[in-house]
Amino acid sequence: MRRLLVTGGAGFIGSNFVHHVLEHTDDHVTVLDKLTYAGNLASLDNLPRERFDFVEGDIADAALVDGLFSRVDAVVHYAAESHNDNSLHDPRPFLDTNIIGTYTLLEAARKHDRRFHHISTDEVYGDLELDDPDRFTEQTPYNPSSPYSSTKAGSDLLVRAWVRSFGVNATISNCSNNYGPYQHVEKFIPRQITNVIRGVRPRLYGAGENVRDWIHADDHSSAVLTILDRGEIGETYLIGADGEKNNKEVVELILELMGEPRDAYDHVTDRAGHDLRYAIDSTKLRTDLGWQPAYGDFESGLAATIRWYRDNEDWWAATKDHVEAFYASKGQ
């Protein structure tokens, strides 16, 4: 039985990975999470307690991290401050967690000689023009555009430096936009789904032309596990499922799948600095490691996600009230 430490495992993508590992392997998982607003212990309910532990704490706490690394075989690092708008309002937490926190983990991986996988984002590459046929690859130059994406780019570079300078056994993955169960209802897809469930018209930023490359969180999880098991040390792998859709298409498909008219939404003022397009080329991951997504198309993954939010209103209802009150104060 391998012993895994998953940082940020009470967050959206991290909790999906924990569920995936416990369902598909014999590994034992310890989650380390600070339980900021994005962490939710309810996302870890009903897990087999003989194979799962939870530790509340900060990845920048060197003593805590050192003790945990001494008891595990490998670490998957999801923990991050990741909300773009929040990074524009107050960048400091992003530096503390994404830079200092990652440094603290790398030093522990170096000391204890532990396998380390670092989760990152395609936002480190900036954005693409809407009519640009190119997609991000592992060779795309970094061009971050916000405090969030800048600190994630910085954390990626720290990992690469610790591999080269100190021989840390690390890999990196940069992923496109995730959707699926346990995602905070402030985020684009769950906000629209839960609005429709409550009889509220979805709201679309600007003209809705901004494009994201969507991947179901379970497919992201299977890719990360594949990299952890078979990835080459020092390499970076881009994770994507060929799910490019603009925001208008996503809202209209949500409405259609939920039995509503495709035009039953309203436009609101666009976000400042809203990146135009992200697109991932995951050829290296598929060719070198043999990974394939389980959800062959975006519509099937979205339908499964809608079912989950319909069936789990007790998970999101209280948070939804706070989120909508905040957006209402901003006219969004």
User: What's the CA gap between 332 and 274, in Å, rounded?
Assistant: 15
Catalytic residue among 123, 244, 275, 281: 123
Does the annotation count 299 as an active-site position?
A: no
Residues near 81 by beta carbon (within 8 Å), at least 6 away in sequence: 36, 87, 93, 94, 96, 97, 98, 148, 151
| Strand segments (E) across 148-224 | 170-175, 177-179, 203-205, 211-216
Catalytic residue among 148, 179, 237, 278: 148
Closest CA to 100 of 79, 121, 84: 79
Closest CA to 159 of 95, 233, 270, 92: 233
Q: What b/e readout covers 141-171, taking b as 16+ CB neighbours within 10 angstroms?
A: eeebebbbbbbbbbbbebbeebbeeeebbbb
Does the annotation count 73 as an active-site position?
A: no
Catalytic residue among 122, 219, 252, 281: 122
User: What's the CA gap between 24 and 17, in Å, rounded?
Assistant: 10
Does the annotation count 182 as an active-site position?
A: no
Catalytic residues: 122-123, 148
